[in-house]
Amino acid sequence: MSEMALEVSHLTKSFKGKAAVRDVSFTAPRGQITGFLGPNGAGKTTTLRMALGIIQPDSGQSLLFGKPLSMKTLDRVGFLPEERGLYRKMTALDALVFFGRLKGMKAKAAKTKALEYLERFELSDAAYKKVKTLSKGMAQKIQIIAALIHEPEFIILDEPFSGLDPVNQSLLESIIREEAQGGRTLLFSTHVMEHAERLCDRIVLLARGQKVFDGSVDEALGTVPRQILLESASAHDLSQLLSPFGTVESQDCAQEGHHAWRVTLNATSQVQDVLKACVSAGVDLIRFEPIRPHLHDAFVQLVKASPVPNSAAEPVEREEV
């Protein structure tokens, strides 16, 4: 049995001469939550569609559970596409039973499971309402249930938080964790880093159609320069003392008579080095606070540092049918 739910190798795709995806390779290990991240237009949706055989790549291939794509392997996958596809005149329950039947479920089993998921997603009251009467957020949750109803081994969600308010985003985060704890493998794409930072074991980051990072969340955070905030009750300018450790910026300070600085450490300096220097110099420190980096900071850092492709054409994700 392959340890990878998904293996993507050297996928490349262009539309009308514009490169959307350039030689992208990555894996989604079994039992983990992988975040597939990138700015809008980075090539995420195109890559996922190629990985599942929805569109054909110009080159490259993908494997599901260590095997070539087939109806048998695809039946083990639940997929939430970015472009939604619910029949507006169906009730929510009928729509879910329909998607369950498409995945081989018996009608009675599909209805039972649909009602369970509707309750789990706090949508029991919407079961017999037509899709066209539902709010955008409610319809989004119905479509997510459609990807989960047959209890797939591997769940791929393309921008699942789109259209959800903060309360329902939190609910979906809880459900994603529950699915992972139940032994399922998850991969979801997003450009909102807060969700990825809270949920993911590892991330793959695309920029301009190319992979620019592949690793754990901690490894991504490690790419962000370390920073320290210092505040002193002394009027003495600490710039000269702090400058050997990195870039020093003066900061606004609310307390009259106090002064503050932000130090962005260079590659050879450690937080404790700065603290030792301040103590040795007798600095009257009121505040010494290492700043915890966030995935958003790593995202910005990595995207800015990513190479510009030789082709001047920007990736366009929405040109395929």
**What pLDDT does residue 128 have?**
96
| 3-state secondary structure at position 168 | helix
* Euclidean distance between CA atoms 230 and 262, whole angstroms: 6
Residue 45 φ then ψ, to 5°: -65, -45
Instruction: Name the region of 174 (left: φ>0; alpha: ψ -120 to 50; beta: rest).
Output: alpha
Q: Residue holding tokens 């985060």?
A: 173
User: Count of CB atoms within 10 A of residue 180's CB?
Assistant: 17
- The candidate with the shortest Cα–Cα distance to 26, out of 205, 219, 192, is 205
* Euclidean distance between CA atoms 22 and 51, whole angstroms: 14
Domain boundaries, the chain: 4-221, 227-291
In sequence order, the 6+-apart residues with CB closer than 8 A to the CB of 222 are: none
In CATH terms, the fold of domain 4-221 is: Rossmann fold (3.40.50)
Judge whether 33 and 172 are in contact, CB under 8 Å. no
**What pLDDT does residue 180 have?**
95
Task: Give CA 288 to chain center in angstroms.
Answer: 32
Q: Provide the whole-model pTM.
A: 0.84
Token pair in block for residue 115: 């009602």
- The tens place of each residue's pLDDT in the chain, 321 residues long, gives 679 999 999 999 999 989 999 999 999 999 999 999 998 889 999 999 999 999 999 999 999 999 999 999 999 999 999 887 889 999 999 999 999 999 999 999 999 999 999 999 999 999 999 999 999 999 999 999 999 999 999 999 999 999 899 999 999 999 999 999 999 999 999 888 999 999 999 999 999 999 999 999 999 998 888 999 999 987 678 889 999 999 999 888 767 778 899 999 998 999 999 999 999 998 888 899 999 889 998 988 888 887 777 654 444 444 433
Please enumerate, as own/partner, the contacts of 269-277 that have beta carbons within 8 Å and a separation of 24 or more: 269/244, 269/245, 271/226, 271/228, 273/245, 274/228, 274/230, 274/242, 274/245, 277/241, 277/242, 277/245
In sequence order, the 6+-apart residues with CB closer than 8 A to the CB of 170 are: none
Q: Which one of 3.40.50.300, 1.10.260.40, 3.30.70.260, 3.30.43.10 gives the CATH number of domain 227-291?
A: 3.30.70.260
Query: In 150-276, where do the E strands start and end?
Result: 154-158, 185-190, 202-207, 210-216, 227-232, 246-251, 259-265
- The candidate with the shortest Cα–Cα distance to 23, out of 7, 12, 8, 37, is 12
- The candidate with the shortest Cα–Cα distance to 25, out of 217, 304, 213, is 213
**What pLDDT does residue 278 have?**
92
* Euclidean distance between CA atoms 149 and 9, whole angstroms: 29
